Chains A and B, each alone.
Chain A
C-alpha cells in the first residue's frame, strides 16, 4: 500500500516547555481510515497540526506522498499547492476555522487560494454545500450559525479543496446523534472514493464505528499501540492505562466489587 503520510520520530513542545509529543512514529497508508485516540491533553490536536505542516516539530521528519514536508519545501510554490491541496484539516474549534465574512466566502476561499477560477470555485462550493445540507446558509456570517452548522461549514470549506488526506479533529463533538451519523456516513463515502481519513478523538464509539486502524496516544505523549479497532477496543488494560476508560467501584449487596467501565461498551448498538 502506498504511504500517504509518514511521521518519523516527531517531538514537539509548546514554547520549549510544555511537552506535547515525544518520539511519534506513524505511517498512514493511502485510502486508510485511521483514528488517533488519547485522553485530553495527550497530544492529538498537536499531532494533527504537525501532519498538516502548521507547526514545525522540534525534532523528527514528516513526509507526504513520499516528499518531505519542511520549512524549506513549503517555500516552494509548486509543493505548497500540492501539499495544501492534498491535505485538509478540520479544526477542533470551528470558530477558529471560520474567518471569512460569510459561509459562501468560506467555501470559495480554499479553492481560490489554490488558483482555481472563480466560477470553478463557486460551482464546487455549491456542490459541497448541497452535499452537506447547508445550501441555505451561504449568505450568513459564521457567528450567526449554530455549533453544528458551523461544523458543517468548516468541513465543507475543506472538502471543496478535494483533499486526498482529510484530518479531522474531534469532528463529532457537540453534534446531535443525527448529525453524528451523517458525518460518519460522509467519512465512509469519502473513504470509498479513495480519500484517506484521519480522525483524532476520545470518543470510543466513533472509533468503533469507523472501524479502521487505531493509534493510541498515552498521557506521556507517546504512541502506546497501533492496531485494528477491535483489538485496541477490547484491550481494557491498555485503555485503562491511557485513561480512556475509568474504574468504577461500587457495592453490590455486601461485597464491594470493582469493574472497568467504558461508556463505549454501554452505548454500543
Chain B
C-alpha cells in the first residue's frame, strides 16, 4: 500500500500532506502531554513492530502481494494518536532509507496507513469490545478492527489512485500519473485487502490483544506501563520477528506473488501500458534511497540483504522514537530544570572525586616514582611527536607506548581509556567525520553512499554526483582521532600519576612565573570549593525534603539554589583570600621548589628525550 513517487499528482499529494500535517500536529501535542518515560520503550517497540510486520509480504498467487501494517494494534494498546506518530515515523524511514513509498506520496501514505487504519481499528474495537477486558468481545473487536481498518485504508489508497486520470491528464486525455480509473483502482485495492491482507492484519491484531489482555488486564488502560516486567520478552519477540523477515520475500517468490498493486516500476508500467505516463517519468526517480527495495534487489544477497534491512529498519525506528521522545520531553520546563540541577551536582561530584583521586595518585608504579620534571618534559616531547608526525604507524607506536607505560604504572586503565574513548570520539572522530566525505575533501569515493541524479554546483561549492567516503578523508579522520586519543591518554596518564602540587613545582623549575602558578593553583582550589558547595547543598536538600517534590517547587529550588551556590562559592573564596592576605600574601605567590633529581630520574629523562627525538625525526 506504499504509493511510490510518480503515481500521485501534485493536486493530490499536496492536500494529502496538509491533512496529515494536521494529524501530526495534534498527535505530537498529545504525545508531549501524555508521554511518560515508562512508555517510551513501548512506543519504540510499537514502531519497530510496525516496520517489521510490513516486511512480511503476503502473496496472492499469480497476482499481487500485500502486507499488514500493525497500526491498529498500536492504536488499541497505546491509543490512536500514538499510532499516528509511530507509524508515520516508520513510513518515513521506509521512504527515505528503503525507497518504499514515495517522498511526494509520504503525506498520502501516512493518511492511509498511519491515520485511517489506526482510527478505524480503534473505533471498531471500542464499539465492539466496550469496556470488557476478557471474553469474546475484545477478541472479536480486535479482529474486526484490524481487518476493516486495513481494508478502509486500502480503499482510501484506491481512491487516491483512481482519481488521478480525472484530476491530471495530458492534452490528449492521456493520464499523467496513475493510469487506472477509479473503477479499476478502487476494487483492486479494496478487495485485495478485504479478502487477504485485511484478515491477516485482523488475526495479528487479535492475537496481540489476546496476549496483552490475558497477561495483564490493566495493560491497555494503564498505558502499557504495567507490563514493565515482561519488557525483555517483548523485545525478544521483536527480534524474532526481525529474524524471520526473509520469509517476507521467500514465500512470495515461491508462490509467484507479483509486485503490490500500484507499486510497479517504470519498466513494468511500460510493459503493462505500452507507455510511461509523462508526469510519472518526472517524479518516479526523485529520490535514490541508500538501500533500495530493502536490499532484496541485490542479486548476490537477496534474503541476507532483506534480513539486514529488517534489523536496520527496526533499530532506526527505535532510535528515531527515542530521539523524538527526548525532544518532546525536553520541552518540559520543570523536568529540564531539575535535570540541570541533577546534572550540576553530578558534575560537581565527578569533579570532586577526580580531585581526590588525583591527590591520592600514590599507587606505586613506574611513572609515580619519577620526578615530576622528567614527566613534564616527557609529556611535552610526546605531545610534539603526536601532533607533528603525519603518519598512522607512528601514532600507533605512540599509543602502544602509552599503553605499556600505563600498565607499568598500574594506572586505572578502565578509567583512563573510558575517558580517552569518550573525548576521542567526540573531539576527534565526530568532528572529523564530515571531512571523510568527498563533499568536503575532494577525491574519488571508495564507498558511495548517495547517488544524485546530477552534480550540483553553486557559488564555490560543488556537490558531486556520487557522494561517498574518500580514502584521503578516511585517513584524515583516523589521524585526528588518533591524535586526540593519544594526547588525551598521555595527559591523563601523567596527571593521574602525579599529584597536583608536584606538577606545580615542576612548572616552577621551568621558570613558569609564580603569579601564573598562583592563578592556576587558586583556580584549582576554587573549582574544588565550588564542587564541594554544590554537593553539600545537594545533600542538604535531600536531607531536608521528604519524598517527591512537585514540579514547580523543584523548579524554585533549582533556580534559587543556582544563585546561592555561586554566591556561597564567592563568599568562600573571598574568605580564603582574606586568609591568604593575613599570612602575608602580596599578590606574588612564592611557592616551595623541588629537591634534587635522583639518578634514576636523570636516566629516565635521557630515555624520554631519546624516545621523543626518535619519534619526531625518524
Instruction: Give A98 to B564 CA distance when docked, in angstroms.
Output: 23
Q: How far is the CB of A264 from chain B (nearest CB, A)?
A: 30
Q: Is A96 an interface residue (CB 8 A)?
A: yes
Chain A proximity of B332: nearest CB distance (Å)? 38
B343-396 with Cβ < 8 A to chain A: 356, 359
Contact of B586 with A113 in the complex, beta carbons under 8 Å: yes
Cβ of B579 and Cβ of A97 under 8 Å apart? yes
**CB contact list, A49-96 vs B, under 8 A:** 49, 52, 54-55, 77, 80-81, 84-85, 88-89, 91, 93, 96
**Contact at A96–B572, with CB atoms within 8 Å?**
yes
User: Which of B575, B589, B593 touches A96 (beta carbons < 8 Å)?
Assistant: B575
A88→B501 CA distance, assembly (Å):
25
Q: Is B614 an interface residue (CB 8 A)?
A: no
Residues A88-132 near B (CB distance < 8 A): 88-89, 91, 93, 96-97, 99, 101-102, 105, 108-110, 112-115, 118, 121-122
Cross-chain contact of B584 among A49, A54, A110 (Cβ < 8 A)? A110
In the bound complex, do residue A109 and residue B576 qualify as a contact, i.e. CB atoms below 8 Å apart?
no
Interface size class of A (residues with CB under 8 A): 35 or more
CA distance A158 to B583 in the complex (A): 7
Give chain B residues whose Cβ lies under 8 Å from the Cβ of A96: 572, 575-576, 578-579
Residue A141 at the chain B interface, CB threshold 8 Å: yes
Q: For the complex formed, measure the closest distance between the CB of B570 and the CB atoms of chain A, giving whole angstroms.
A: 13
Query: Does B582 belong to the interface (CB within 8 Å)?
Result: yes
Report yes or no: A54 in contact with B578, Cβ–Cβ below 8 A.
Answer: yes
A143 and B500 alpha carbons, distance in the complex (Å) = 15
Pick the residue among B359, B583, B585, B586 that contacts A141 (CB under 8 A): B359
Task: Find chain B residues with CB under 8 A from A81 CB.
Answer: 584
The interface residues of chain A lying within 8 Å CB-to-CB of B593 are 118
User: Is B590 at the interface (CB under 8 A from chain A)?
Assistant: yes
Question: Given the complex, which residues of A lie within 8 Å of B286, measured CB to CB?
Answer: none
Asked if A245 CB lies within 8 Å of chain B CBs, one says no
**Judging by beta carbons under 8 Å apart, are B499 and A157 in contact?**
no
* B525 at the binding interface (Cβ < 8 Å): yes
- A114 CA to B586 CA, complexed, in Å: 9
Closest to B590 in A: A112
**Alpha-carbon distance between A121 and B584 when the two chains are bound, in angstroms:** 14
Does A161 count as interface, using CB distance less than 8 angstroms?
Answer: yes
The residue of chain B having its C-beta at the shortest distance from the C-beta of A89 within the complex is B582
- A139 and B12 CA atoms in complex are apart in Å by 80
Give complex CA distance A102, B362 in Å: 14
Given A96-B576, A101-B359, A105-B501: A110 in contact with B583 (beta carbons within 8 A): yes
The interface size of chain B toward A, counting residues with CB under 8 Å, comes to 27
| A residues 173-196 touching B (CB-CB < 8 Å) | none
Closest to A74 in B: B581
Residues A84 and B582 in contact, CB atoms below 8 Å apart: yes
Contact indicator B592/A101 (Cβ below 8 Å): no
Q: Does B298 contact A (CB under 8 A)?
A: no
B576 engages A112 (CB within 8 Å): no
Tell me whether A113 and B585 are in contact in the complex, defined as CB-CB below 8 angstroms, given that A101-B499, A101-B500 are known contacts: yes
Q: Which residue on A lies nearest to B352, using beta carbons?
A: A143
Do A84 and B572 touch (CB < 8 A)?
no
CB pair B592 A54 closer than 8 Å: no
- What A residues does B323 contact at CB under 8 A? none
CA distance A97 to B522 in the complex (A): 13
Residue contact B583 to A157, C-beta cutoff 8 Å:
yes
Contact partners of B525 in chain A: CB under 8 A: 99
Q: A96-B576, A101-B499 are in contact. Are A54 and B590 (CB under 8 A)?
A: no
- Is B613 in the interface zone, CB < 8 Å from A? no
> Given A102-B501, A141-B359 in contact, is the A49-B578 Cβ separation under 8 Å?
yes
Task: Give the chain A neighbours of B580 by CB distance below 8 A.
Answer: 99
B575 nearest CB neighbor, chain A only: A96
Q: Which residues of A contact B586 (CB under 8 A)?
A: 77, 80, 113
- Closest Cβ of chain A: how far from B495's Cβ, in Å? 14
Min distance, Cβ A4 to any Cβ of chain B, angstroms:
17
Which one of B576, B578, B584 has the highest number of Cβ atoms from chain A below 10 Å of its Cβ?
B584
Instruction: Kindly report which residue of chain A lies nearest to residue B585, judged by CB atoms.
Output: A113
A92 → B minimal CB distance (Å): 10
Q: Is the CB of A105 within 8 A of B582?
A: no
Contacts of B499 in A (CB 8 A): 101
Instruction: List chain B residues, Cβ under 8 A from A52.
Output: 582
Contacts of B501 in A (CB 8 A): 101-102, 105
Query: Of B504, B532, B583, which contacts A109 at CB under 8 A?
Result: B583
A102 to B: closest C-beta gap in Å: 6
Q: Is B559 an interface residue (CB 8 A)?
A: no
Report A-chain residues with C-beta under 8 Å of the C-beta of B237: none
Which residues 111-169 in A have Cβ within 8 Å of B in the complex? 112-115, 118, 121-122, 141, 143-144, 157-158, 161
Residue in B359, B504, B522, B592 whose beta carbon sits within 8 Å of that of A112 in the complex: B592
Closest Cβ of chain B to A83, distance in Å, is 9
Shortest B450–chain A CB gap in Å is 56
In the complex, A135→B593 CA distance in Å? 20
Residue of B359, B586, B592 with most chain A CB atoms under a 10 A cut-off: B592
* CB of A93 to closest CB in B, whole Å: 7
CB-defined contacts of A99 to chain B, threshold 8 Å: 522, 525, 576, 579-580
CA of A88 to CA of B582, assembled, Å: 7
A257→B140 CA distance, assembly (Å): 88
How far apart are the CA atoms of A55 and B120 in the complex, in Å?
Answer: 78
Residue in A closest to B528 when the chains form the complex, CB atoms? A143
CA distance A102 to B501 in the complex (A): 8
Inter-chain CA distance A93–B591, complex, in Å, is: 24
Contact A113/B582 with A93-B575, A96-B576, A101-B500 known, Cβ cut-off 8 Å: no
Instruction: Enumerate B279-304 residues with CB–CB distance to A below 8 Å.
Output: none
B residues within 8 Å of A by Cβ? 356, 359, 499-501, 504, 521-522, 525, 532, 572, 575-576, 578-586, 589-593
Interface residues of A (CB under 8 A from B): 49, 52, 54-55, 77, 80-81, 84-85, 88-89, 91, 93, 96-97, 99, 101-102, 105, 108-110, 112-115, 118, 121-122, 141, 143-144, 157-158, 161
| 20 additional A-B residue pairs with CB within 8 Å, beyond A88-B583, A101-B500, A122-B592 | A49-B578, A54-B578, A81-B584, A89-B579, A91-B575, A91-B579, A93-B575, A96-B575, A96-B578, A99-B579, A99-B580, A101-B499, A101-B504, A101-B521, A109-B583, A113-B584, A113-B585, A113-B586, A113-B590, A115-B590
* Interchain residue pairs A-B with the least CB separation, the first 9: A113-B584, A110-B583, A101-B501, A84-B584, A112-B590, A96-B575, A54-B578, A97-B579, A89-B582
